[in-house]
Amino acid sequence: MAPLGDGADSAASPNLVVSFGEMLIDFVPDVAGLSLAESGGFVKAPGGAPANVACAISKLGGSSAFLGKFGDDEFGHMLVNILKQNGVNAEGCLFDQHARTALAFVTLKKNGEREFMFYRNPSADMLLTEAELNLDLIRRAKIFHYGSISLISEPCRGAHLAAMRPTSSRSATTRSPSSPRGTPPTRRTCSRSGSTASSSSSSPTATRDADTSPRTSRAACPATR
Which CATH number belongs to the domain containing residue 161 in this structure? 3.40.1190.20
SS3 content of the chain, % helix, strand, coil (to 5): 30, 25, 45
Instruction: Tell me whether residue 221 is in a domain.
Output: no
Measured between alpha carbons, how far is 100 from 186 in angstroms, rounded to an integer? 23
What does the pLDDT read at residue 10?
A: 60
Answer yes or no: is 224 within a domain. Answer: no
What pLDDT shows up at residue 188?
Answer: 43
pTM summary value:
0.78
**Contact in structure between 73 and 13 (CB atoms under 8 Å):** no
Beta strand residue intervals within the chain, DSSP E: 3-4, 17-20, 24-29, 42-47, 64-71, 89-96, 103-108, 114-119, 143-147, 172-176, 207-209
Domain with 86, as residue range(s), is 3-215
Give a yes or no: residue 166 inside a domain. yes
Q: Is 50 inside any structural domain? A: yes
The answer to whether residue 222 is domain-embedded is: no
Task: State the DSSP code for 23.
Answer: -
Predicted pLDDT of residue 106: 96
For residue 136, the model assigns a pLDDT of 95
Give pLDDT, residue 191: 45
Give the pLDDT score at 14.
85
User: Is residue 30 assigned to a domain?
Assistant: yes
| Inside any domain, residue 197 | yes
pLDDT for res 56: 97
Q: Which residues of the chain have pLDDT under 70?
A: 1-12, 178-225
The number of folded domains in the chain is 1
